[in-house]
Structure 1
Amino acid sequence: MRNTRIGGAVGLTLLLAGCGGTGTPEASERTTPPASASSPQPAPAADKGPECEGAKSAAGVHLLRGGATALPDGGKATYAEAAADGRHRTAVLSADDGRRTVAPGGKVTLGGHAYTVAQICTYRVVLTTADHNGTNQGAQMATWPTTQDGHWRLRWHVPDNGPAMGAVVTDVQDGPARASISVTAPGQGQLAFYDDVRKGGTVEIANRLWKVEAIDPGHMNVDMNSPEFKAGHVDLRELGDA
């Protein structure tokens, strides 16, 4: 089966447009994205792991994959690239003063301030300083997202918006099944962008960890009005606090 790859820009636009409210998106948002005739993209190589390396504690500043995070001393930084060789992990961090590659336990200067890289995971980098070890991700949002028995379904191009942020699946493909998930917040832009997520992977959303339990690529290489069209989705299972 061949599935259509849809660029993330459309889903991100929908998410930002709807992120100010709560509840289920309107019907117009459900059918806005047009089907694309582009061919599926080759699957990038799977991450070699380990999923995380470094301190077991997640206390510190969380830089989520693909998103801009406010630093406690001012400025913003992005976890831009991830790499692993089967034993160790590295990450590329980007800030206003450039990009640098970091490893667990190493030191890094961002915005003129020094940090220790406490932990690197596929989905986040945790930074600490001598006088700042608490997270800056905000309080857990108990009312969002809505789950059923700890499970949360994110659908292709249907934003799930909470009071302070929203999430949407911007892309689903098969061969192997994989997806992209965008997390944004009003006035803050993109908090995270988890690209090429696969079954068994982990993401951090709303200060909680979620395991990717299933990815359904659907059937999207036909016209959206066709009875054969079926949008894809991603099923997440809550693991606990991040």
Structure 2
Amino acid sequence: MRGHAAVGFAVALLALAGCQSRKPAAGPSADASPARDKGPLCVGTAAAGMPHVLRGGGFTLPGGGGVRYTGASADGTTRTATLADGARYRSGARQWTVRTGARLTVSGHAYTVRQICSYRVVLAPDDAEARAALAAEPASTRSSGGSADDGLCYTTNRSALTAAGRGFPAEGQALPLVTNGGRRQFPTGWSIAVYFVSSADGTAHLGASCAGIPAADYQDVATGDTVEFAGTLFRATVVGASRSVTLTRLRS
């Protein structure tokens, strides 16, 4: 009897070990840190008179069309960007995966991709008509609200961009933002909000809109990352404990 009992006990141990070895591997944690951008921060060169399409957002272009910056890839040496047709999301919209120097046509106007950054894509209009339309003087540098602000929000006009910059803190100064603190409104129609701050990995989700169009959507922003709003650059400081973000304005 003792022999049978010993055998039975050994079989039970082997069965238990087998169950443990067949335990499913743990999946990725919900708190796992997001993959960091490998850089470089930017490839190519921007110049005056070129529209900036911000990450996750749209930009209206002459002729009634627009483009969105929907995806990015970096391998430590170069960058690519995914652009989608239309300033707003549209199911089935045409997409382009581009590098600097690529050309695309939107609403009858051709553009060349001059710069790709983690936070923006800069396009150069290839024809004089598009350049003139983008640089047109706005009727006012004060927001009227909604689509009436298209020419104020999505422009290369220097006076409009200067007016937008005056609505932000001075260079080197801070713009504090708090999660669920509502949207910070600015005189030229821009509004900025913090949607979420992760205390686990110290990242934040920021967004902006202008003229009723989502103009930027920055996800997984970490301390030290660069973001842009209305032609103005900021460096982010994310404080997970207080679920807040401070944007420090950079030199132009």
TM-score higher than 0.5: yes
Matched with 2:190 is 165
Q: Does residue 108 in structure 1 map to residue 104 in structure 2?
A: yes
Q: CA RMSD in A?
A: 2.3
Q: Which of 211, 214, 217 is the equivalent residue of 2:235?
A: 211
Q: How far apart, in 1, do the equivalents of 2:172 and 2:74 lie? A: 33
Unaligned runs of 5+ in 2: 1-28, 87-92, 136-154
CA contact (8 A) 1:172 1:180 kept: yes
Structure 1 pair 147/41, CA: closer, same or farther in 2 (3 Å)? farther
Deviations 1:82-102 (A, max 9, x none): 110000000000014501100
Unaligned runs of 5+ in 1: 1-38, 219-230
Deviations 1:195-231 (A, max 9, x none): 111111111113210011x21112xxxxxxxxxxxx4
CA contact (8 A) 2:202 2:222 kept: yes
Matched with 1:87 is 77
CA contact (8 A) 2:73 2:81 kept: yes
Matched with 1:125 is 121
CA contact (8 A) 1:40 1:173 kept: no
Q: How far apart, in 1, do the equivalents of 2:223 and 2:59 lie? A: 26
Q: How far apart, in 1, do the equivalents of 2:61 and 2:219 lie? A: 23
Matched with 1:69 is 59
Q: Percentage identity across aligned positions?
A: 34
More helix by share: 2
Matched with 1:5 is none
Q: Does residue 201 in structure 1 map to residue 201 in structure 2?
A: no
> Residue 74 of structure 1: CA displacement?
2.7
TM-score, reference length from structure 2: 0.68
Matched with 2:40 is 50
> Residue 147 of structure 1: CA displacement?
5.9
TM-score, reference length from structure 1: 0.70
> Residue 153 of structure 1: CA displacement?
1.1
Secondary structure (helix, strand or coil) at the match of 1:72 reads coil
Q: Which moved more, 1:68-77 or 1:55-64?
A: 55-64
**Number of residue pairs matched?**
189
Structure 1 pair 113/88, CA: closer, same or farther in 2 (3 Å)? same
User: 2:238 is matched by which residue type in structure 1?
Assistant: I
> Residue 40 of structure 1: CA displacement?
5.0
Q: Does residue 156 in structure 1 map to residue 146 in structure 2?
A: no
Bigger relative contact order (CA 8 A; separation at least 6): 1
Flag the structure with larger Rg: 2
Matched with 2:248 is 237
Q: Which moved more, 1:125-134 or 1:154-163?
A: 125-134
CA contact (8 A) 1:177 1:216 kept: yes
Q: How far apart, in 1, do the equivalents of 2:52 and 2:117 lie? A: 10
> Residue 166 of structure 1: CA displacement?
1.1
> Residue 149 of structure 1: CA displacement?
5.3
User: 1:235 is matched by which residue type in structure 2?
Assistant: T
Matched with 1:99 is 95
Structure 1 pair 142/203, CA: closer, same or farther in 2 (3 Å)? closer
